[in-house]
Amino acid sequence: MIIINHNVSLNFLSPILITLLLIIGVGCSANKNNTAEITVNNEPALKGPYEIAAEKNQPSVIHYQQPDDSLRFINEPIFKFNHTVYRYILSPLAIGYEKIVPTPINTGIGNFFYNLREPLYAVNHLLQGEFTKSGHSLARAVINSTVGLLGIFDAANGLMEIERNKTKFGDTLESYGVGQGAYLVLPLLGPSDLRDTASLTFNYFAHPLNFINDEEVAAQLLLVDGIQAQIPILSKYPVVLADVENPYEFVRNLYMQNALRDGQARRNEIFKTEKQKQQSEKSVQHNNTTVE
């Protein structure tokens, strides 16, 4: 637990962040080889609906179920507000941030906040019945908080090959059969759904930063965490939507399709046979040795 004196003033955050950046600047060269994450999957790719239709000589027009957008009368005005703020304020700031801040420093800051979320990953893995992954998340938190200098460096992965395994409360709810629910646009936070909104609420109140003594510093760090995590998305937002005729429906469909894809990937992982899992692990180890 981090203990911070109640007498800390509102301006205490600035020295914290300045010190954090200085530490990263001194040590960033030691972490260059650990910043890349390699994901290898040699399993055959799933065929899409058009490929299946072509093989069966069926018409190429595939019907997709319309997303549950029963709250559109609320969502659309919020989306228009977000769209304006993103395009004219947050996206330019995100683009400027990526140009000014060196990649190793940005990686170190991201690692710092990821390390703070490792206990949340551990709790959710535990609730999902994934005891090994839960233990790995706890081990990562301990190793990176010590050897990794408060999580600035991913020592757990670099030294012991314990990879980050992100999960959230929404995944936990899904594992118990809770559906997505209606599509929902949140002010500034963007596209979501009823299940993920519950996940955001859980993650906010269960975040380790809420348990430090200085509530003002905790609130500011939570804000920085949220903004830093969204920078890659915000920086590409104007380009992605440049030629889109209906931005609201485009973002909605993209979000819902990604959620369905991620959910299917998790289900495929759960229902893999033991033989498939062993083959997958062997292929990853083989490719890692080839890359090295």
118: which residues sit within 8 A by CB, 6+ positions away?
137, 138, 140, 141, 144, 164
Q: Measure the CA–CA gap between 277 and 284, rounded to whole angstroms.
A: 11
- Residue identified by tokens 């399709």 is 257
Give buried/exposed letters for 174-209 (b at 16+ CB in 10 A, else e). bbeeeebbbbbbeeeebbbbbbbbbbbebbeeebbb
Give tens-digit pLDDT for 67-91: 788 999 999 999 999 999 999 999 9
Here the tokens at position 105 are: 């420093």
Instruction: Determine the Cα angle at 197 with ends 107 and 150, to 5°.
Output: 30
Here the tokens at position 154 are: 């991913």
Query: Which run of H or E residues covers position 47?
Result: none
211: which residues sit within 8 A by CB, 6+ positions away?
1
Residue 212 has what pLDDT?
A: 82
- Residue identified by tokens 């495929």 is 268
Residue 268 has what pLDDT?
A: 57
Residue 122 has what pLDDT?
A: 95
Output helix, strand, coil percentages for the chain, rounded to the nearest 5.
Answer: 70, 5, 30
- Residue identified by tokens 């994934």 is 130
Q: Measure the CA–CA gap between 158 and 191, rounded to whole angstroms.
A: 34
Determine if the pTM surpasses 0.75: no
Successive 10-residue mean pLDDT values, the chain, 292 residues: 43 46 45 42 50 50 64 96 94 94 92 94 95 96 95 93 92 90 92 90 84 84 85 91 90 85 58 53 49 38
